[in-house]
Structure 1
């Protein structure tokens, strides 16, 4: 198997890990951990692992002026992003979370227009409007009967927006430093913000950690190592052989993987039954979002061909 093929396999596993995470994390909250405590475990654990890996790589010196930029990236890429995702997942369904995350490329296109002053052609604008329409109607399906709420879906949407802002802000830093250096510092600042969030420390005092079953600890470990650490390493490997645009398109696999794992985990009794939240109308709006995202990505390809 060539390097390109291995890179595609790596990205498939990245999004499979993310897809499973929506089911795994849902089983942990709120019965055993509050979203705030779960976030603290994930961010602190990942930060430790990133610094551990950095000990075995060449250390890069970061300019003082870039530390502020990394600190801002820590706000949007870790603190706001994680807080909104886990609280959103806690108040929504695993299926909705996977679908709403596919809006990220559209959010990146919008942020690039306002922040980086990138042009918006007719195809891209149409794709943004179609994707936004699908997201709005998907959110309107959240009536609480499947565990989802409008509040939860709004938080998941803010999560997508926050991560889009992070991708725009971190782009110049990624061109200046290695991905490992940038991510390590971003997570370090993000961990500081999470710990400074008052409710996090309060929640820690309210949880009886001795009563948490071993199986739940395994799920928590999976989120820290599998969903945060390994996904990052696999993505870095894939980006050595594939373009960023190809890498980003794999996010569209996430809702599909969430649905697959919802059925699989329930069939082998590893999770509750989340398949009841999979409805025909949700799948319809998922396809509408896919269509919008496809048009946005397609417009990038057309723009590149005209530049040649």
Structure 2
């Protein structure tokens, strides 16, 4: 029987992997570069991604009527939690450093593992639990280091931490619904719902959704194209050709790449606590992903940062 990853690419998978890793590293840089409210950035990122996906799924869109009412409710919940994730994580970049924010966001697989244990009785093996403990030790190191610097930085850390929790809920919903709904339809619908959630939030909070200078609109488009289309969607496509663990490990490049870009562009130097904590988190996640090699991947990775 042919392996699901035995298809051959015409080029080395390293090339699209490298493009994807570079692309997702720019997400926090673009967020920090914009002066628009994060809820407006998130809304247009989702809206433009939704519109970019539209021409490529005409056949699949014809099957929308086959989605059950229960699955529509799950899709609504997934879109809501993705909006919460973006709102919290993007807001965290106003208060804490790019390094702390993106490293803490990388804890999302740990939260998925814990949630899957309680909700679906998925029992992780002992090495996955060891990885969880190592990663959490890293998060504590970053939090304790930042609170010694300022309460503002610690508040930003907590926003990123809660943002990781929100996207973990989104992933747990995806694990259920994507057994019945295709990856394209899931992403397309959830991105649209997320954009609507942001629009409603902006209306309720009285946040203007228009009148921004042209440079802001360029950033909105880049948020959709670079970290989303050239990042996460390339990773989703590569799932046909490489092991899911390879993709998961590549996503760990985001805190590394984003931290380096933050140093170069915003002169944000990495503290000792951030370095030690970041190494612990990446080591813990590497142990976890290695342990969960056969069962950790969700069918088509929904958007994160």
- Is the 2:43–2:194 Cα contact (8 Å) retained in structure 1? no
Aligned counterpart in structure 1 of residue 27 of structure 2, from 21, 26, 34: 21
Matching residue of 1:128: 132
Query: What is the rounded CA distance, in whole Å, between the counterparts of 1:236 and 1:302 in structure 2?
Result: 17
Number of equivalenced pairs = 287
Query: What is the rounded CA distance, in whole Å, between the counterparts of 1:26 and 1:303 in structure 2?
Result: 35
Query: What is the rounded CA distance, in whole Å, between the counterparts of 2:111 and 2:261 in structure 1?
Result: 26
Query: What is the rounded CA distance, in whole Å, between the counterparts of 2:136 and 2:162 in structure 1?
Result: 13
Matching residue of 1:196: 200
C-alpha spacing 1:98/1:246, structure 2 compared with 1 (3 Å):
same
Matching residue of 1:236: 236
2:156 paired with 1:152 = yes
2:48 paired with 1:45 = yes
Query: What is the rounded CA distance, in whole Å, between the counterparts of 2:12 and 2:159 in structure 1?
Result: 35
- Is the 1:18–1:254 Cα contact (8 Å) retained in structure 2? yes
- Is the 1:92–1:147 Cα contact (8 Å) retained in structure 2? no
Question: Unaligned stretches of 5+ in structure 1?
Answer: 267-271
Matching residue of 2:286: 294
- Is the 1:4–1:241 Cα contact (8 Å) retained in structure 2? no
Q: For residue 234 of structure 1, report the CA deviation from its aligned partner.
A: 0.9
Q: For residue 56 of structure 1, report the CA deviation from its aligned partner.
A: 6.7
Q: Secondary structure at the residue paired with 1:111? A: helix
Matching residue of 2:248: 248
- Is the 1:88–1:156 Cα contact (8 Å) retained in structure 2? yes
| Structure with greater helix percent | 1
Q: Secondary structure at the residue paired with 2:121? A: coil
Q: Secondary structure at the residue paired with 1:175? A: coil
Matching residue of 2:227: 227
Q: Secondary structure at the residue paired with 2:242? A: coil
Question: Unaligned stretches of 5+ in structure 2?
Answer: 1-7, 297-305
2:65 paired with 1:73 = no
Q: Secondary structure at the residue paired with 2:96? A: coil
Q: For residue 121 of structure 1, report the CA deviation from its aligned partner.
A: 2.9
The 10-residue stretch of structure 1 (45-54 or 16-25) with the greater mean CA deviation from structure 2: 45-54
- Is the 2:105–2:164 Cα contact (8 Å) retained in structure 1? yes
C-alpha spacing 1:158/1:145, structure 2 compared with 1 (3 Å):
same
TM-superposition CA deviations, 1:128-169 (whole Å, max 9, x none): 122112102201222496996111111111111111221121
- Is the 1:17–1:226 Cα contact (8 Å) retained in structure 2? yes
Query: What is the rounded CA distance, in whole Å, between the counterparts of 1:296 and 1:200 in structure 2?
Result: 41
Q: Secondary structure at the residue paired with 1:120? A: coil
C-alpha spacing 1:303/1:181, structure 2 compared with 1 (3 Å):
closer
Matching residue of 2:218: 218
Matching residue of 1:257: 257
| TM-score computed with the length of structure 1 as normaliser | 0.83
CA RMSD of aligned residues (A): 2.7
